[in-house]
Structure 1
Amino acid sequence: MFVLIGLLIGALTLAAWWVYQNYTYWKRRGIPHDPPNIPLGNTSELMRTMQLSHILKRIYFKYKNQTDGPFVGFYVYAKKFVVVTDIDFVKTVLIRDFDKFHDRGIFHNEKDDPLTSNLTTVEGQKWKTLRQKLTPTFTSGKMKIMFPTVLNVGDELIRVFDEKISSPPQTLEITNLLSRFTADVIGICAFGLQCNSLRDPKAEFVRMGNSAISERRHGRLVDLLLFGAPKLSAKLGFKSLLPEVEDFYMNIVKDTIEYRVKNNVTRNDFMDMLIEMKLKYDKGDKQDGLTFNEIAAQAFIFFLAGFETSSTTMGFALYELASHQDIQDKLRREVDTVLAKHNGKLYYDSMREMTYLEKVIDETLRMHPVVAHLVRIATKPYVYSNPKYYIEPDTGVLVPTLGIHHDPEFYPEPEKFIPERFDEEQVQQRPACTFLPFGDGPRNCIGLRFGRMQVIVGMALLIHNFKFELYPTKTSVPIKYKVGNILLSAEGGIHLNVSKIVKQ
């Protein structure tokens, strides 16, 4: 009995010592930080009253230029992070010393939860090899081949909008429609499937996409383990995706591959390129090939990443254009002029002539970056010029994208929507890494070109055909974000008055 009591006391003492050591780490180091609470660290407001990006934005502005180092300490629950407060150090993490900060520390379990082991999550040499294999898939030449397919879905988007409005203007919740547009685009480009999401609000592609993003397989405690100890969680055989989500995407990829190989079908899309790599693997070329599970994981993340981010960006852009009719009119004049030059049709090369549209999209991404913070994990020791500011391996690094994008040092009057900020001369005057909607460095978003292409197509066609105005009784001004999401998205959706533009 006394032995058991002694062991219990010893275990409690050890646990108390670990808690003390962990939550006093930054204090003992003399690194500026907000005092943590136990067990939530500096994230007691997370997903209750604030989104993580806004917590990081507050930390960024509180400590920027107030310390003698490039970062401050931060705790996400019990895990130690630094929050970068110096823009030059952002470049160090993402580009200069990428070899020390190349991993993201995100849970993935290749054996038990294969779809989680994709380009956004895998680490080290495996990530490097996979990135090299997939990079040729996203060249401008490949985008040009896929452009007509994207345009066809864009034309369907316009038909659906047409059917939903009449005179006087109709109020539409546009984020749902736009997510169905991007689901159809990526569904056909990634899987070669006509998803018909635009016609069917309950289409499985949209439903499964939303489930994969917003629904959790486990409760909060297991999620904390997946976040705080991702490698241990994988070794223990944990899975994060819902079973029906995994089954849906695995079966679609399996059926698509079997059909195309059996019937010798070629579509010049993303799936064709993945199938080519699988066939190489099946023939013994493991260096250039990919397994079925690897292909399924890449198709899954391509759909998931492009589905949510692109549609949300378009929604925010239309919200800003509805709030600034002068900018909307200027953009429409550019789009109409370019289309008139090409007999009323949109072509891949003519997209480049829509320079003001590019600036509108960039300013939207500055104000409302859907991925509003970046995370990296130190894989090697890092020592700053001031040796006090060293970073130990396995420490997380958070880059506060939202804070940087709203920093008046780089963007005067940051709460104003000013597309001219992205005139070439203004871009050149800003330091590197002050615009990070797609990340930067070797681990930036590989699908950047595709994402921009589908946003440009959708935006150009919508602005050419419709006028958008605010409906403030349902959509707040300024916009409010959902606090329960990791990605930035509008609380309650975005409701706008939409009217058809009568061509003269």
Structure 2
Amino acid sequence: MMERIANDAACSTMGLGFLARTPSYYKALRHLRNFMNKLIEKNANNNISSSSSEPWAKGEEAMNSFLDTALNYYCRGHLKKEDVIIESIGLIGASFETVATAIYSVLVMLAMHPDVQENLFRETYALFPQKNIEVTYDHLKQAPYLDMVVAETLRLMPSIPIIGRQAIRKARLTSEIDLSPNMQVIVPIFSLHRSKTWWGAQAHLFNPNNFTPENIAKRNPYVYMPFSKGARNCIGKC
């Protein structure tokens, strides 16, 4: 399905989206919709409370997954089943593909740069000196170099290398560029992340130090956007 979505997106930028919407495209979509519909029917009445005003009011147990939260809203009438299906397909489908790509890319970068791998190993060993320690989110907050390695990997190898937007009104980007309503705008994240204008003469090289607090502070925040930017940015950033 992700491959078909990518083809659809690429064709749609040229007004040729219909070429990607083949019978197999709709067959894959029906399969996903049927799967989510059965999952919703199976879990709609399992430990979903309609009494609390907010789904997180019951505490951490009520927030086991995105689906739990969505079903809570569905059972209380705040979301339609169709809304849950659409959001679940988008979240689950996109997250599996992009996370797998990001993990693979990090492993490749570490294999290619033994010095970075050694520095990360030292940080990890200092954080987990003993075996069989459960890793929590609080642990990850204590691993700044890991964060730098992941960020630099996503700079050079963003899971989503290109995104598109549509202008909803006339807008001026520069003194020479105006956007007309409904104009398709393509943002080449891959090229932006490797621009020598913003990242220096060695923009193509893997360097986690690009993401030290000092370097982040002096850089335009819009030259690094592996999760997009603005109100429609990727939920994976969280």
Aligning the two structures, in what range does the TM-score lie when normalised by the shorter sequence?
0.7 to 0.9
Equivalent of 2:74, from 270, 273, 278? 278
Q: Structure 1's 240 and 362: CA in aligned 2 closer, same or farther, altered over 3 A?
A: farther
Matched, 1:399 2:195: no
For residues 350 and 434 of structure 1, what CA distance do their matches in structure 2 show? Answer: 29
- For residues 449-488 of structure 1, what are the structure 2 equivalents within 5 Å? 449=238
For residues 279 and 406 of structure 1, what CA distance do their matches in structure 2 show? Answer: 47
Question: Paired residue for 2:177?
Answer: 389
Paired residue type of 1:245? L
Matched, 1:366 2:162: no
Q: Structure 1's 319 and 434: CA in aligned 2 closer, same or farther, altered over 3 A?
A: same
SS at match of 1:398: strand
Q: Structure 1's 324 and 253: CA in aligned 2 closer, same or farther, altered over 3 A?
A: same
Equivalent of 2:30, from 230, 237, 243? 243
Equivalent of 2:3, from 205, 214, 227? 214
Greater RCO between the two (CA within 8 Å, min separation 6)? 1
Paired residue type of 2:188? P
Matched, 1:309 2:98: yes
SS at match of 2:124: helix
Whether the aligned pair in 1 keeps the contact of 2:227 and 2:236 (CA below 8 Å) is no
For residues 217 and 13 of structure 2, what CA distance do their matches in structure 1 show? Answer: 41
SS at match of 2:44: helix
Q: Structure 1's 272 and 324: CA in aligned 2 closer, same or farther, altered over 3 A?
A: same
Q: Structure 1's 215 and 399: CA in aligned 2 closer, same or farther, altered over 3 A?
A: closer
Question: Paired residue for 1:170?
Answer: none
Q: Structure 1's 332 and 383: CA in aligned 2 closer, same or farther, altered over 3 A?
A: closer
Question: Paired residue for 2:64?
Answer: 268
Give the TM-score normalised by structure 1: 0.40
Could you give the per-residue CA deviations for residues 296-338 of structure 1, whole angstroms, max 9, x where no partner exists?
2112211112101111001010001011111111101101111
Q: What's the CA shift for 1:379?
A: 0.9
The two structures, once aligned, show a CA RMSD in angstroms of 3.0
Q: What's the CA shift for 1:280?
A: 2.3
**Hey, which of these two has a bigger chunk of helix by percent?**
2
User: Identity percentage over the alignment?
Assistant: 24
For residues 213 and 359 of structure 1, what CA distance do their matches in structure 2 show? Answer: 28
Paired residue type of 2:43? T
Whether the aligned pair in 2 keeps the contact of 1:366 and 1:437 (CA below 8 Å) is yes
Q: What's the CA shift for 1:248?
A: 2.0
Whether the aligned pair in 2 keeps the contact of 1:321 and 1:327 (CA below 8 Å) is yes
Question: Paired residue for 1:252?
Answer: 39
Paired residue type of 1:351? L
Gaps of 5+ in 1: 1-211, 231-237, 282-288, 450-504
For residues 130 and 113 of structure 2, what CA distance do their matches in structure 1 show? Answer: 26
- For residues 42-441 of structure 1, what are the structure 2 equivalents within 5 Å? 212-215=1-4, 228=15, 241-261=28-48, 268-281=64-77, 289-340=78-129, 344-383=133-172, 386=175, 389-412=177-200, 413-441=202-230
Q: What's the CA shift for 1:375?
A: 1.1
For residues 196 and 167 of structure 2, what CA distance do their matches in structure 1 show? Answer: 29
Gaps of 5+ in 2: 18-24, 50-60
**Count of paired positions:** 217
- Structure showing greater radius of gyration is 1
Whether the aligned pair in 2 keeps the contact of 1:365 and 1:437 (CA below 8 Å) is yes
Give the TM-score normalised by structure 2: 0.80
